[in-house]
Structure formats: structure tokens, C-alpha cells
């Protein structure tokens, strides 16, 4: 084969490779375009669209790189097809990457404390990692999901000094819940809704922050969409969240609404919580996507979903929020936030 033949062969391979790359980008662009159109036209009424919307941030993230690439290649049609996904990505999550302004410092009549939520995985029968990590969070109030009896046996002696007020409901398996506080717990209630085939526990506590101020903390765990159907169905989760919001609407004291919600922050259930007047502590005081599941140090998968939240009503403001990095144990990462209870 001559040098000319080699050159022609090389050029042909490059063209084939370029066509392949363009075809792959085109297929991806078409799928993202159909996904965005499906969300706008159908929303979460179709299970397939609902399922893929759970991972929308991952499905649309490549558009952030591919749009500039297509612009450089002058692939205008591909660019146009990719733009809806890029725009949706920036509109929905772009604010989470904007540097936060300095928070307003609390006044003398305001109370500042740290609140946390942590799903500690009932299947993990070694409480040692949680004992160490909960101590490092240094939260004043921490809501815990999936509390089992062996957790309580370890937590009670370990945290008797740090958290003199504790309320655990270890009913077995993943349904248990508990709360530990440095402030007095004056009311405590635990229940399971009957709207989900596989029910998880919810807890309501009233905490005396000062002589004249009380707050209500809901420590919740709505059911996972994969628990209640052969494939994926959010109906039970939505029903539980609706019932919780209905109950919260009757509260007269300031409310913190926290837990493992088993929902992404691009879901109608998330919108329902925000529409009820709650702020998202991480969205207000954190930075980045805030992914909490799965804990990549306790599983073989990277962390890629945001399922754990601290919501707050307008009696509070947020100074800072963060996802904790725990080395082992749970498949969830904890979330904690420094909040200010506004003065009376």
C-alpha cells in the first residue's frame, strides 16, 4: 500500500469516527429533547418520564459540555437540539453554584443552633461509625431515620451527656425513627401512615428552645418509589407528603421539616413542600448539588442523588448548610444546617 493509500485510509477512518461521534451526540440530543418535551407536556403522569426525571440532573449534565463542542464544530442543528436540556439544567440547578452572600449575623434576641438529619441504615448492625460521626457533626438537634434497637442500645449510653433529651422509636427494620436534642423535648409522637404498602415511620417533637420559645420538628421518612410497585411509583410518597403538609398547616409554633424524603429536588413532591412555604436549607446556605445518596464510601456506586433535606418555615433563617462526609456505615450522607430562630 502506498503512502497515498495510507493517507486516504486514515482520512476515511477519521470521517467514519467523526460521523459516529455526531450520530451518538445526535441520539443523545434527541433523547434529552424528548425528555424535556415529555416533562412539559405530560409531567409526572407517565411512569417512564417520572422515572427518568428522578435522574434528570445526570441525564442533562453532558449538555453542559456538548453544547460548546457543537458550537466549535458548527453543528447548529445539534446545538439547537441540546439547548433545552442545557437551559433546564441551568434554570433548575444553576443557583446552587452561585457563591452565597455573607449571612446576616444573629441579633441578641435570636437563637442560633445546628440541626441535622441522618438516615443511619437499619441493615448496618455496627453502630460504631455513627457514634463517632454524630459527635463530629456537633448538632444541637438531630433527626435520625431507620433507627433499630441495636442502635438505641449503643446511642443511649454514648450520648447521655451530649444529648440529655432523646426519643427513639425502634419498631424494627427501616421504619424506626429517633431524635436527640440538647434542648428539652416536651412532646413526642410517632406514627405510620396507611397509604403505603411498605410503611416507614414519621415523628413529631416539640422542643423548648428557651423559656418563651418552642419549635416543632418533624422527622420524616416517606416511602421510596421502588418499595410500592414492581417498577417505580411515587403515589404513596406523594400521599404521605401531602398528609404531612396538611398536619403541619395546623401548627402555630415554628416548624422544621427534615428527614429522608426519598425524592429528588426536581419532583412535584419537592415543589409541594416549597409551595407550602418552606425554604430548603441546603439550597439557601449550601453549595453544589448537595447529593446525599448513595454514600460512595459505603457502596460501590458514586453519590448522585439528593434525597435528604432540612426544610424550614419563615420563623427561621439559614446561616450555613452542608452535606457531611461519613467514611462508613450508612448508604446516606447526613445534612446539617446552622439556623437562626428569629426573635419574638
Place of cell 440529655: 164
**Residue 188: left if φ>0, alpha if ψ -120 to 50, beta else—which one?**
beta
- pLDDT at position 121 is 81
Checking if the pLDDT of 1 tops 80, the result is no
Question: Percentage of the chain surpassing pLDDT 70?
Answer: 93
Higher pLDDT, 105 or 36: 36
Rounded Cα gap, residues 252 and 126, in angstroms: 40
Average pLDDT value for residue range 86-92:
94
Highest mean predicted confidence (pLDDT) among 37-46, 65-74, 104-113: 65-74
Highest mean predicted confidence (pLDDT) among 25-34, 164-173, 177-186: 177-186
Question: Under 8 Å CB-to-CB from 8, ≥6 apart: which residues?
Answer: none
Higher pLDDT, 300 or 63: 63
Highest mean predicted confidence (pLDDT) among 126-135, 243-252, 335-344: 243-252
Higher pLDDT, 110 or 315: 315
- pLDDT at position 47 is 82
- pLDDT at position 79 is 95
Average pLDDT value for residue range 238-242:
96
- Summarize pLDDT for 289-321 with one digit per residue, the tens: 999 998 876 567 788 999 999 999 999 999 999
Checking if the pLDDT of 45 tops 80, the result is no
Residue 148's nearest CA partner among 179, 176, 127, 126 is 176
- pLDDT at position 8 is 45
Checking if the pLDDT of 40 tops 80, the result is yes
Task: Please state the φ and ψ torsions of residue 121, each to the nearest 5 degrees.
Answer: 65, 100
Q: How many CB atoms lie within 10 A of CB 14?
A: 10
Asked whether the beta carbons of 261 and 241 are under 8 A apart, the reply is yes
* Of 100-109, 177-186, 216-225, minimum mean pLDDT range: 100-109
**Residue 80: left if φ>0, alpha if ψ -120 to 50, beta else—which one?**
alpha
Would you say the C-alpha torsion 312, 316, 322, 324 has a positive or negative sign?
A: negative
Rounded Cα gap, residues 7 and 19, in angstroms: 18
- pLDDT at position 328 is 65
Checking if the pLDDT of 233 tops 50, the result is yes
- pLDDT at position 301 is 78
Asked whether the beta carbons of 342 and 317 are under 8 A apart, the reply is yes
- pLDDT at position 207 is 98
Average pLDDT value for residue range 235-247:
95
Sheet with 111-119, strands from edge to edge, namely 165-169, 177-181, 141-145, 111-119, 335-341, 316-323
Checking if the pLDDT of 196 tops 60, the result is yes
Checking if the pLDDT of 124 tops 70, the result is no
- pLDDT at position 183 is 98
**What is the pLDDT confidence band of residue 344, given thresholds at 50, 70 and 90?**
low
What's the per-residue H, E or C state across the chain? CCHHHHHHHHHHHHHHHHHHHHHHHHHHHHHHHHHHHHHHHCHHHCHHHHHHHHCHHHHHCCHHHHHHHHHHHCCHHHHHHHHHHHHHHHHHHHHHHCCCCCCCCCCCCCEEEEEEEEECCCCCCCCHHHHHHHHHHCCCEEEEECCCHHHHHHHHHHCCCCCCEEEEECCCHHHCEEEEECCCEEEEEEECCCCCCCCCCEEEEEEECCCCCEEEEEEECCCCCCCCCCCCCCHHHHHHHHHHHHHHCCCCCCEEEEEECCCCCCCHHHHHHHHCCCEEHHHHHCCCCCCCECCCCCCCCCCCECCEEEEECCCEEEEEEEECCCCCCCCCCCEEEEEEECCC
- Summarize pLDDT for 203-229 with one digit per residue, the tens: 999 999 998 999 999 999 999 887 776
Asked whether the beta carbons of 154 and 178 are under 8 A apart, the reply is no
Q: Average pLDDT of the chain?
A: 90
- pLDDT at position 298 is 59
Checking if the pLDDT of 39 tops 60, the result is yes
pTM: 0.92
Higher pLDDT, 124 or 30: 30
Q: How many CB atoms lie within 10 A of CB 325?
A: 13
Amino acid at each position: 500500500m502506498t503512502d497515498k493509500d495510507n493517507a486516504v485510509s486514515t482520512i476515511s477512518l477519521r470521517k467514519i469516527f467523526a460521523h459516529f461521534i455526531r450520530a451518538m451526540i445526535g441520539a443523545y440530543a434527541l433523547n434529552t429533547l424528548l425528555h424535556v418535551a415529555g416533562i412539559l407536556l405530560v409531567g409526572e403522569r407517565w411512569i417512564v418520564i417520572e422515572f427518568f426525571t428522578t435522574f434528570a440532573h445526570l441525564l442533562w449534565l453532558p449538555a453542559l459540555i456538548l453544547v460548546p463542542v457543537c458550537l466549535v464544530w458548527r453543528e447548529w442543528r445539534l446545538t439547537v437540539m441540546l439547548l433545552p436540556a442545557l437551559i433546564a439544567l441551568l434554570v433548575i440547578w444553576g443557583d446552587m453554584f452561585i457563591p452565597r452572600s455573607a449571612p446576616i449575623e444573629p441579633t441578641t434576641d435570636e437563637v442560633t443552633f445546628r440541626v441535622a438529619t441522618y438516615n443511619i441504615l437499619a441493615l448496618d448492625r455496627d453502630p460504631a461509625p455513627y457514634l463517632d460521626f454524630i459527635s463530629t457533626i456537633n448538632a444541637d438537634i438531630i433527626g435520625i431515620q431507620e433507627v433499630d434497637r441495636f442502635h438505641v442500645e449503643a446511642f443511649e449510653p454514648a450520648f447521655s451527656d451530649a444529648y440529655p433529651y432523646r426519643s427513639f422509636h425502634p419498631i424494627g427494620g427501616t421504619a424506626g425513627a429517633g431524635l436527640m436534642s440538647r434542648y428539652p423535648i416536651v412532646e413526642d409522637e410517632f406514627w405510620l401512615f396507611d397509604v403505603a404498602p411498605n410503611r416507614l415511620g414519621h415523628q413529631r417533637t416539640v422542643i423548648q428552645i428557651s423559656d418563651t420559645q418552642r419549635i416543632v420538628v418533624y422527622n420524616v421518612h416517606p416511602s421510596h418509589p421502588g418499595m410500592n410497585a414492581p417498577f417505580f411509583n411515587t403515589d404513596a410518597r406523594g400521599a404521605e407528603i401531602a398528609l404531612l403538609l396538611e398536619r403541619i398547616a395546623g401548627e402555630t409554633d415554628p416548624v422544621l421539616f427534615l428527614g429522608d424524603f426519598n425524592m429528588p429536588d426536581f419532583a412535584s413532591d419537592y415543589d409541594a413542600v416549597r409551595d407550602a412555604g418552606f425554604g430548603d436549607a441546603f439550597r439557601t446556605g449550601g453549595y453544589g448539588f448537595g447529593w446525599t445518596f448513595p454514600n460512595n464510601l459505603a457502596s460501590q456506586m458514586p453519590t448522585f442523588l439528593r434525597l435528604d433535606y432540612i426544610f424550614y418555615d419563615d420563623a427561621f433563617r439559614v446561616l450555613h448548610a452542608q452535606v457531611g462526609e461519613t467514611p462508613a456505615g450508612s448508604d446516606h450522607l447526613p445534612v446539617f444546617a446552622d439556623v437562626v430562630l428569629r426573635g419574638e
